[in-house]
Amino acid sequence: MVSMKDIARECGVSVAAVSKALSGQPDISEVTREKIKKAASTMGYQPNSAAKVLRTHRSNNIGVLFVDEAHNGLTNEFFALLLDRFKHVADSKGYDITFINRGISSGSMGNMNYLAHARYRAFDGVLIACMDFHNPEVIELAQSNIPLVTIDYSFEDRMSVESDNVSGIRDLVLYCAKMGHRKIAYIHDDNDSAVTRDRVGSFKDTMESLGLSVPDSYLPVAEYRKTEGSRKATEKLLALKDRPTCILYPDDFSALGGIAAIKEAGLEIPKDISIVGYDGIRVGRHLTPSLTTLRQPTELIGETAAQKLISLIENPAETRIEKVVVKGRIYEGGSVARI
Amino acid sequence: MVSMKDIARECGVSVAAVSKALSGQPDISEVTREKIKKAASTMGYQPNSAAKVLRTHRSNNIGVLFVDEAHNGLTNEFFALLLDRFKHVADSKGYDITFINRGISSGSMGNMNYLAHARYRAFDGVLIACMDFHNPEVIELAQSNIPLVTIDYSFEDRMSVESDNVSGIRDLVLYCAKMGHRKIAYIHDDNDSAVTRDRVGSFKDTMESLGLSVPDSYLPVAEYRKTEGSRKATEKLLALKDRPTCILYPDDFSALGGIAAIKEAGLEIPKDISIVGYDGIRVGRHLTPSLTTLRQPTELIGETAAQKLISLIENPAETRIEKVVVKGRIYEGGSVARI
DNA sequence: TAATTTTACTTAATGGATTAAGTTGTTGTG
DNA sequence: CACAACAACTTAATCCATTAAGTAAAATTA
């Protein structure tokens, strides 16, 4: 590998001169600079990030953490789309993206935790987009001094980009009510997250404001993004004496589970029962009928997260810590009947 | 940040002793080793990858290249699933994953190409999983001395993992023929790739072996993974005087486009026309009727690619360059009628 | 013209870990 | 007992780029 040393020898200058010439420093004459640049190009010089990182403590590398339980990390369309846009913005600003994980071993010291991994690779910043924000390692990372942005969760004094779950659920409930539904159920996860609190809270509040009652049986529990759980929850709802006319699902995958249960019960959507998803993933648009859902501005979330994080990295002083909240919009499919 | 130097001072030994103790070298006494390990732990020592990479030329980092045109890279379910499994294996063997891109700037020398980027980050190996294997930069990377594995394409003397497109299409055609279909169409992309050649070739060969004729009009062209193109191609097929009874799509997303066209034409699947996908993505299973498709062993492809690449990195001498071919299996949905 | 400033460099230290080669002190062997 | 063999270190070079501080020559100013 050609290094600055080689170029320096070739051009009869010092290594420092080469470094300055190539990095655009002012105190190098144009003649020398051109000579050096030409030699670098001819000799096939490639900079070495390791040396640069070692010296400058800047890696131009962003760590991305997402918890991969059940492998629906990357294959989770919401996350994939988000990461895709995040990556795009990061790329354009000269940052690479590396996944943070636990596999890297630190010699005899066992495997590294997330923070150790982030320090090991000298990430300039970190994106956390996962559900398990109560994981002690995630908390440790969030409390470190590394610039970071979280998605759909907010740590104190740290940047976050969140979708507006309160308005999302409210809009959906209002839409269903407008379509004539009075008996509306909402399936949700019982984890202790802001997402759940906001959504369930918003659901209850909106229903109350409409003067509609919500029996406990209308709030069954099922794990997010799992078809199996929501299928069972749906079965329970369908078995109720006074069953709902409309079921809200916490995400489109859960809705798929619900659809299966509804079909099995011999019912038809939306004639016999109406359903609503959340997230607006691609699959929903191709169902028959297509799924009415709250389309999250996922691309915007990804781009915003990248911009905020990079701003935090490059201008820590001028960057105000904020909790960015983005609103979604209803995608009106055909899964809600007017009654 | 505490470094080996700090530990050395604390323990009254040389930096070399610390390095050896922590990396498990034999010529350190157990007593000293324990003392050093304890100090490292107490002092919160974190290794520094930059220094290690600089010195050893090993990064424990694998570059992943995929071309992101139209942003269906990460959100492409096939690729996402593949990458997810690849990452999983890489993780477990102590490798990180970083995306290769073109955004990284090399000072005044403009942006780096793929190979330059790979060298810059000192990737130990590279995974190439994209469609554009004719891109000069991809070829340049493939011809470098960096260990690499390609997916669904094979460069001379380089490792690859490919799905068996020949047997895949053959199995699907045989299945359709078994169901009684004689007029079968295959929509395909007209790009100059091995995937296309293999599939179209296999389609024609299999049809011929069954004594079935394939008019040119039964082989319309549409871009892969785009619903719009396949929708139009489907419309053309439906408009034919002697229209096919069964349409093969090159991937499940194309099938979605076809479904839209079929519905618009007022036809019903599979009563009026049968369709078959390729890839076996999740969405197909939730359609009504569910999509008969060739389920690619995507997880296996990802895992195999990772294992082969790491073997190539760690044992270049003993690792035989091979072209791994994995077979898919038909997922029998309800989109093909028995006639 | 002498003094000062500027330009265009060079020197040398630095970041942190690895490793070949060298140096002790200790144990073993004939 | 003398010398070899070994264990347990240390020394010092190295990977490559950056940058503060220094220097010599050229340009400017008084």
The pLDDT of residue B104 = 59
The pLDDT of residue A70 = 57
Yes or no: say if A280 and A309 are a contact pair by the CB < 8 Å rule: no
Query: Whole-angstrom Cα distance, residue B161 to residue B141?
Result: 17
Looking at per-residue confidence, does B48 or B318 come out higher?
A: B48
CB contact under 8 A, A104 and B60: yes
Q: Which of residues 91-110 of B touch A (CB under 8 A)?
A: 91-99, 101-109
Residue B113 has pLDDT above 60, yes or no: yes
Q: Please calculate the CA angle A100-B84-A50 and round it to the nearest 5 degrees.
A: 40
Is A144 an 8 Å CB contact of chain B?
Answer: no
Query: Whole-angstrom Cα distance, residue A98 to residue B26?
Result: 33
Residue B20 has pLDDT above 90, yes or no: yes
> What does the pLDDT average to over B11-36?
93
Who among residues 101-140 of B has its Cβ near strand D, under 7 Å? 107
Phi, psi of A126 (to 5 degrees): -140, 140
Which residue places its CA closest to the C1' of nucleotide C14? A55
Query: Whole-angstrom Cα distance, residue A83 to residue A136?
Result: 24
Q: Compare CB distances from A97 to B91, B94, B98 and report the shortest one's residue.
A: B98
Yes or no: say if B153 and B160 are a contact pair by the CB < 8 Å rule: yes
The pLDDT of residue B105 = 60
CATH number for the domain formed by residue range(s) A165-296: 3.40.50.2300
What mean pLDDT is reported for chain B? 91
Query: Whole-angstrom Cα distance, residue B143 to residue B140?
Result: 5
Using the structure block, give the residue that is written with the tokens 């907010």.
A154
The pLDDT of residue B110 = 61
CB contact under 8 A, A103 and B94: yes
Query: Whole-angstrom Cα distance, residue B41 to residue B145?
Result: 39
The pLDDT of residue A72 = 63
Distance of CA B323 to the CA centre of its chain: 14
The pLDDT of residue B101 = 81
Who among residues 26-45 of A has its Cβ near strand C, under 7 Å? 27-29, 31-32
- Minimal CA separation from B156 to chain A, in Å: 25
Yes or no: say if A64 and A82 are a contact pair by the CB < 8 Å rule: no
The pLDDT of residue A71 = 56
Q: Give the pLDDT band (50/70/90) at residue A69.
A: low
Query: Whole-angstrom Cα distance, residue B149 to residue B139?
Result: 13
Residue A29 has pLDDT above 70, yes or no: yes
The C-alpha R_g of chain A, in whole angstroms, comes to 26
CB proximity B12–strand D (7 Å threshold): yes
In this predicted structure, which of A198-212, A215-229, B56-70 has the lowest mean pLDDT? B56-70
Q: Please calculate the CA angle B97-B100-B106 and round it to the nearest 5 degrees.
A: 125
Query: Whole-angstrom Cα distance, residue B100 to residue B67?
Result: 9
Query: Whole-angstrom Cα distance, residue B161 to residue B75?
Result: 21
For helices A194-209 and A165-178, the axis angle rounded to 10 degrees is: 30
The pLDDT of residue A278 = 92
- Which tokens in the block code for residue B91? 């993780």
Query: Whole-angstrom Cα distance, residue A225 to residue A231?
Result: 11
- Give tens-digit pLDDT for B1-12: 899 999 999 999
- Give tens-digit pLDDT for A110-161: 678 899 999 999 999 999 997 778 889 999 999 999 999 999 889 999 999 9
> What does the pLDDT average to over A58-69?
88
Q: Give the pLDDT band (50/70/90) at residue B107.
A: low
The closest alpha carbon to B151, from B168, B167, B165, belongs to B165
Query: Whole-angstrom Cα distance, residue A284 to residue A289?
Result: 9
Q: How many CB atoms lie within 10 A of CB A89?
A: 18
Full 3-state SS string of A81-149: HHHHHHHHHHHHCCCEEEECCCCCECHHHCECCHHHHHHHCCCCEEEECCCCCCCHHHHHHHCCCCCEE
Region for residue B44 given its phi and psi (left: phi exceeds 0; alpha: psi -120 to 50; beta: otherwise)? left
Give me the architecture of the B61-163+299-326 domain, per CATH.
Answer: 3-Layer(aba) Sandwich (3.40)
The closest alpha carbon to A233, from A252, A259, A215, belongs to A259
Yes or no: say if A185 and A245 are a contact pair by the CB < 8 Å rule: no
In this predicted structure, which of A116-120, B128-132, B331-335 has the lowest mean pLDDT? B128-132
Contacts of B66 in chain A (CB under 8 A): none
CATH number for the domain formed by residue range(s) A4-47: 1.10.260.40
Contacts of A84 in chain B (CB under 8 A): 68, 71, 73-75
Pairing of strands A293-295, A329-331: antiparallel
CB proximity B9–strand C (7 Å threshold): no
Which sign does the torsion angle of CA B307, B308, B311, B312 carry?
Answer: negative
Count Cβ–Cβ pairs < 8 Å, chain A vs chain B. 171
Q: Which amino acid is at B135?
A: N
Q: Give the pLDDT band (50/70/90) at residue B70.
A: low
Q: Give the pLDDT band (50/70/90) at residue B72.
A: low
Looking at per-residue confidence, does A253 or A166 come out higher?
A: A166
What DSSP line would sit under A8-77, residue for residue?
Answer: HHHHTS-HHHHHHHHTT-SSS-HHHHHHHHHHHHHHT----HHHHHHHHS---EEEEE---GGG-STT-H
What DSSP line would sit under B28-82, residue for residue?
Answer: S-HHHHHHHHHHHHHHT----HHHHHHHHS---EEEEE---GGG-STT-HHHHHH
Which residue places its CA closest to the C1' of nucleotide C10? A14
The pLDDT of residue B284 = 76
The pLDDT of residue A110 = 61
The pLDDT of residue B125 = 97
Q: Give the pLDDT band (50/70/90) at residue A300.
A: very high
For helices A49-56 and B49-56, the axis angle rounded to 10 degrees is: 140
- Minimal CA separation from A95 to chain B, in Å: 6
The closest alpha carbon to A301, from A164, A200, A101, belongs to A164
3-state secondary structure of B85: helix
- Which tokens in the block code for residue B41? 């732990």
The closest alpha carbon to B112, from A329, A4, A118, A46, belongs to A46
Q: Cite the residue boundaries of each domain of chain A with CATH code 3.40.50.2300.
A: 61-163+299-326, 165-296
- Minimal CA separation from A212 to chain B, in Å: 33
CB proximity A15–strand C (7 Å threshold): yes
Mutate to test the interface with A, among B45, B99, B290, B293 (most CBs of A within 10 A): B99
Residue B223 has pLDDT above 70, yes or no: yes
> What does the pLDDT average to over B102-113?
64
The closest alpha carbon to A122, from B158, B46, B125, belongs to B46
CB contact under 8 A, A91 and B102: yes
Q: Compare CB distances from A53 to B50, B80, B263 and report the shortest one's residue.
A: B50
- Give tens-digit pLDDT for B228-256: 899 999 999 999 999 999 999 998 889 98
Q: Cite the residue boundaries of each domain of chain A with CATH code 1.10.260.40.
A: 4-47
The pLDDT of residue B130 = 75
Distance of CA A76 to the CA centre of its chain: 10
Phi, psi of B309 (to 5 degrees): -65, -45
> What does the pLDDT average to over B122-143?
91
Residue B199 has pLDDT above 70, yes or no: yes
Query: Whole-angstrom Cα distance, residue A83 to residue A111?
Result: 26
Contacts of B89 in chain A (CB under 8 A): none
Ranges of H-type helices in B57-148: 77-92, 114-120, 136-142
CB contact under 8 A, A37 and B121: no
Residue A13 has pLDDT above 90, yes or no: yes
For helices A298-314 and A77-92, the axis angle rounded to 10 degrees is: 40
Q: Give the pLDDT band (50/70/90) at residue B68.
A: low
Query: Whole-angstrom Cα distance, residue A176 to residue A245?
Result: 10
In this predicted structure, which of A75-79, A100-104, A283-287, B33-37 has the lowest mean pLDDT? A100-104
Which sign does the torsion angle of CA A138, A140, A142, A146 carry?
Answer: negative
> What does the pLDDT average to over A67-79?
71
The pLDDT of residue A251 = 87
- Which tokens in the block code for residue A7? 């170029």
The pLDDT of residue B106 = 56
Which residue places its CA closest to the C1' of nucleotide D15? B55
Burial of B265 (0-12, 13-18, 19+ CB in 10 A): middle
Is B296 an 8 Å CB contact of chain A?
Answer: no
Phi, psi of A304 (to 5 degrees): -60, -45
Length of chain B: 339
What mean pLDDT is reported for chain A? 91
- Give tens-digit pLDDT for A123-134: 999 999 977 788
pTM as predicted: 0.90
Bridge partners, A161 (sequence order): A151, A324
Q: Give the pLDDT band (50/70/90) at residue A103.
A: low
- Give tens-digit pLDDT for A230-245: 999 999 999 999 999 9
Bridge partners, B161 (sequence order): B151, B324
